[in-house]
Amino acid sequence: MQMEETVKENCRPRIADPQVRLCRSIISVPANREKMAAKALGLDADVIMLDLEDSVPVEQKDEARERAVAVLRGANPGGKVFSLRINGMDTPFAYRDLIDVVERAGEFIDTIVIPKVNEGAQVKAVDYFLTQIELRMGFRRPIGLEPSIETASGMMRVEEIGFSSPRIEALVFGVADYSASLTMPGGGISGHGEREELYPGDRYHFPLSRMAMAAKAAGVAAIDAPYGDYKDPEGLRRSCLASGGLGYDGKWVIHPDQIGIVNEVYTPSEEAFERSKRILEAYEQARAAGVGSIALDGKMVDGASIRVAQVVRARREAIDRNGKKT
């Protein structure tokens, strides 16, 4: 009963919302590298993520916050989504990330990525902090949250994390730290997406599937970890197809050359879009006629097919609305 109440209170079916944010490709840019951020504005990535965490040395954290504010306040988004990855909640840096950057540039931030989330309480803490900042600064729209699942502890509690805040827009798989937390030999970003001799299959199938299930149960997007070898386009494509087949909506990229393939794979095909339109048209006609069952091309159409068609249509329309196909 408690879980049902939590679902009713917190679940927002954003992935089926026609106004859903595009999140096929998310390029990570160190916040202390202004030239890289400026270049990212001209790329076809749906999301630009300014990183204050792993890519920024400890001695440059303060400088990175200043540069992040400058980039956010000076950028012309042009339909892009801006995300900010703060430092972990178990570090002495996260609270300053929220105060120093969000207070001064929060109106330009769409989502905040929380790394290495181990329990829902960490997400709630950021949620409460943001609420206070938004009230004080008079921001007109709330900032979304994207917890990153990067540890065995986080994966064990991924369902709890997924429902921990109505701000959550996506769950993100962090392959490198997840592999380290399991002491997986040869694991991490370089091996993600490749079949390996160490294990007869994809070692990441289980966590990817579990996280996708939690994300979709909570009505939010599922984002895959980056593929490490940016000189291996076919390996990247296989990795995208694998997570896309599990219901993932997008993927982090570490190099501009990866964006095109990622956008292509996570964009609903013309065939899928046209079939979705036909399913939904048949559904509306059946409802108007008071008919309970639907058949299309000689096959019965069930409720699950209708929900998938709604998601495909919403995504494709969001892509068309932003003038992006691939």
Distances (CA, A) of 133 to 84, 90, 94, 115: 16, 20, 14, 20
pLDDT of residue 32: 93
Q: Cα separation of 202 and 163, whole Å?
A: 28
Q: Which are the contacts of 274, defined by CB distance < 8 A and separation ≥ 6? A: none
Tokens coding 233? 């386009």
DSSP 225: P
CATH 3.20.20.60-classified regions of the chain: 2-266
Q: With contact defined as beta carbons under 8 Å apart, do 24 and 221 qualify?
A: no
Q: pLDDT (tens digit, 9 = 90+) per residue, 251-303?
A: 999 999 999 999 999 998 888 777 878 888 777 777 777 766 777 777 777 77
User: For the chain, what is the mean pLDDT?
Assistant: 86
Least confident of 14-28, 100-114, 228-242: 14-28
Which CATH number does the domain 2-266 belong to among 3.20.20.60, 3.30.420.10, 1.10.3720.10, 3.20.20.70?
A: 3.20.20.60
Please provide residue 50's backbone torsions phi and psi, each rounded to the nearest 5 degrees: -80, 120
Q: Which are the contacts of 108, defined by CB distance < 8 A and separation ≥ 6? A: 72, 73, 75, 77, 82
In order, the DSSP letters of 55-78 are TS-GGGHHHHHHHHHHHHHH---T
235 — pLDDT class (breaks 50, 70, 90)? very high
